[in-house]
Amino acid sequence: MYQSYWNLQSGPFEEKMEATFFYESHPHQAGLLKLQYLIENSKGAGLLVGGSGIGKSYLCHVLKSQLADVNQPFVHLVFPQLSPIELISYLAVELGAEEANIEPSAPGKDRIIRALHRQLLLLCEQGRKPVIVIDEAHLIVDQRIFETLHQLLNFQQTSEIDFTLLLVGDQLLLSHLQRSAQLDDRIAVRCLLKPFSIEDTRGYVEHRLEVAGRNEPIFEEDGFQTLFELTQGNPRKINRLCDLALLVGYADELPLISSDILGAVAEELVTSIPD
């Protein structure tokens, strides 16, 4: 709606998984390098932890876009609240096993495990090193899932099979892993994704605007300090606040977005409107 007013070619603050909008902040770039190291050096299992809206799933998407073909398939499970047999079945199919031969409701867990094992062997015979991402892993309530993931890693103990397992979630995931000491012990690389600094907050906003086609300032100088204070450097909060601020600026025909406008928009975002 406001794109033409601000001379933008696309929405700069939309919640899209487009790698071109990735801003190489220090915490996000450091996390990406760690994950690349995990995969490219066959370290086995890794952990990516961070608060809500900090960019964990987005970082996984950027990671996928930068990996070589040898690291395909890239399986990204975003709904991990499954039973152990459902998890094994899902992974087997996503890795390329014939879905018709896998029926999680039917008896024969050993048959599904063999199907998964055969598929991993086939991929590795083809020279591939697949990546399995379990996103929102802090939502797993069945502790048997963590035991199943530990057993899955046991496939790596043979030289024929090579894949990477990445667990992604918020801080609650750490306590889950403490109750699964064997799996926790197999985590080779750990990444803690932190919010932006004030410098990265400004860089993030300017980068997104530039990618969207705007090379001239939209926010007044003191607006970035206010933006950082209001969002605490959380990318999702920054996106929502900036998106609505640009809409208000368009509606009011403002030349720039001031600190006062950001404050008013932030208050509108958190204020309940009575019936």
Strand ordering across the sheet containing 131-134: 74-77, 131-134, 164-169, 45-50, 187-193
Range 105-116 average pLDDT: 75
Which residue, of 193, 212, 234, is where some domain finishes? 193
Range 1-26 average pLDDT: 93
Rounded CA-CA distance 141/153 in Å is: 20
Flag whether 19 is in a domain. Answer: no
Please give the pLDDT value at position 158: 75
Which carries the bigger pLDDT value, residue 3 or residue 274?
Answer: 3
Two structure tokens written together for 28: 């996000």
Which residue, of 193, 215, 248, is where some domain finishes? 193
Which residue, of 170, 193, 216, is where some domain finishes? 193
Rounded CA-CA distance 31/190 in Å is: 9
**In this predicted model, what pLDDT tens digit does every residue of 242-272 receive, in sequence order?**
999 999 999 999 999 999 999 999 998 876 4
Are 177 and 217 within one domain? Answer: no
**In this predicted model, what pLDDT tens digit does every residue of 159-207 receive, in sequence order?**
789 999 999 999 999 999 999 999 999 999 999 999 999 999 999 999 9
Question: Given a cut of 50, is residue 230 above it in pLDDT?
Answer: yes
Range 215-243 average pLDDT: 96
Range 47-67 average pLDDT: 96
Are 260 and 161 within one domain? Answer: no
Closest CA relative to residue 226, chosen from 204, 195, 252, 202: 202
Please give the pLDDT value at position 274: 45
Question: Given a cut of 70, is residue 106 above it in pLDDT?
Answer: no
Flag whether 11 is in a domain. Answer: no
User: pLDDT above 70 covers what percent of the chain?
Assistant: 95
Range 72-76 average pLDDT: 97
Please give the pLDDT value at position 100: 64
Q: Structural domain of residue 231, as residue ranges?
A: 196-270
Flag whether 78 is in a domain. Answer: yes
Are 108 and 157 within one domain? Answer: yes
Please give the pLDDT value at position 272: 43
**In this predicted model, what pLDDT tens digit does every residue of 117-157 receive, in sequence order?**
999 999 999 999 999 999 999 999 899 999 999 999 999 98
Range 205-232 average pLDDT: 96
Are 33 and 92 within one domain? Answer: yes
Measure Cα distances from 225 to 27, 28, 98, 232, 261 in Å: 19, 21, 54, 10, 13
The model carries a pTM of: 0.92
